[in-house]
Amino acid sequence: MQTTDQTLEEILSLAAAQFKVPRETLNPDDDFFKTLRIDSLQTLDLLTKLEHHFGVELPDYELQGVSDFRTLAGKIQARL
Amino acid sequence: MKESGVYEAGTDVKFANEEGALSWALVDGVVELALHRAPCNELGSASLEELEKFASALENMQAEAHALIIYSELKPGFCAGADLRELYQRAQTIEKSEAERAVRNFLERIHRVLNLIDAAPLTTIAAVHGVTFGGGFELALACDLIIADKMARFCFPELRLGLIPGFGGIPRLKRDLGNAVMRDLLLTGRSFNATKAQQIGLVSQVVGEGEALRAARATAAQLRKFDRATAAAAKKFIKPIPHDEMRQEIDIFCELFARPAVQAGLRKFVESTDAQPYLP
């Protein structure tokens, strides 16, 4: 099974590709709403991409209040 | 930004009609209803009037058609559901009892339209992408088949407002799905992606990004090979409309709508800047 660090790296790469920003501009503890300037519809798109990429279900309510990549990685790791 | 709904050269287009929130055309024996009210086809009083016009036109087009495709031309998704801003703002300007009567009237009218689509003797296809929430989900459920872009998401967020779905969603879900899945959708208010929706039996095909309309047209072309009367008889047999439950749903919705908590929920939603405003 992959480690949380690997999961985190994949999330960062996926977010960079999805929102067309250089990977190196994203950091694990960034507030992705601020860094990526994403709205509610883009948040849903990111959720869908993450579910497809990791092959997991991420109930919206588990992600409520999650705003940094590291915490998000922990939530996904718990479902792998 | 609009998704492409352009027809190929040589296509036989009849009865084309353009309204503000939607447009329709009869294309090679397929009625195509395109939704295009920004930001995401929210269903308010103007959209309902246009849907009623479409419903009347559909009855006239049915004789020349074998299928109906409903799709959105807007990038965010198929339909985000009822226009909650309009609902909230109207409720602020009229007496409480008048607002309750207006809500019941709106629900009865939209039920008539969706029942007509549900029972149309054509095979009906919802080609969905992106946000397919609340009333938008209910519009898709009125169709015989749902073909979903892999980025589509489905959700019934009504409970966050202190309401239940009011456009026939619960009876139609009960018709199509197991009760445990329904409880998950309704009671948690969480959203499902297209793959999950296919696994639970809601969606018949999941296709790549931007491919839902093309897949729906390909499916409609296949349907043309079947005898229409047979297809209509099969549909009537396997897809009865649960009218009693539809009426119950309206009553429960109106009863809930009368509570002050609903106005507070609507205000919270309208004023929300949350990234997940559909969650409580």
DSSP state, residue B98: H
Contact A64 B279 (CB under 8 A): yes
pLDDT tens-digit readout, A26-66? 999 999 888 888 888 888 899 999 999 999 999 988 888 89
pLDDT tens-digit readout, B243-262? 999 999 999 999 999 888 88
- On chain A, the residues whose CB falls within 8 A of the CB of B130 are 41, 44-45
Interface test with B, best of A60, A63, A79 (most B CBs within 10 A): A60
Interface of B with A (CB under 8 A): 40, 76-77, 130-131, 150-151, 153, 155, 188-191, 193, 195-196, 274-279
pLDDT tens-digit readout, B2-58? 444 556 666 666 666 777 899 999 998 999 999 999 999 999 999 999 999 999 999
- On chain B, the residues whose CB falls within 8 A of the CB of A36 are none
With tokens 């396997």, the residue in question is: B238
When pLDDT is cut at 50, 70 and 90, the band that residue B264 belongs to is confident
Active site residue B138: yes
| Per-residue tokens: B239 | 């897809």
C-alpha distances in Å from residue B273, one per residue of A32, A41, B76, B134, B193? 15, 12, 17, 19, 23
pLDDT for the residue numbered B105: 94
pLDDT for the residue numbered B96: 80
Residue B186 has pLDDT above 80, yes or no: yes
The ipTM is 0.88
- Our CA angle for B270, B272, B167, nearest 5°, is 45
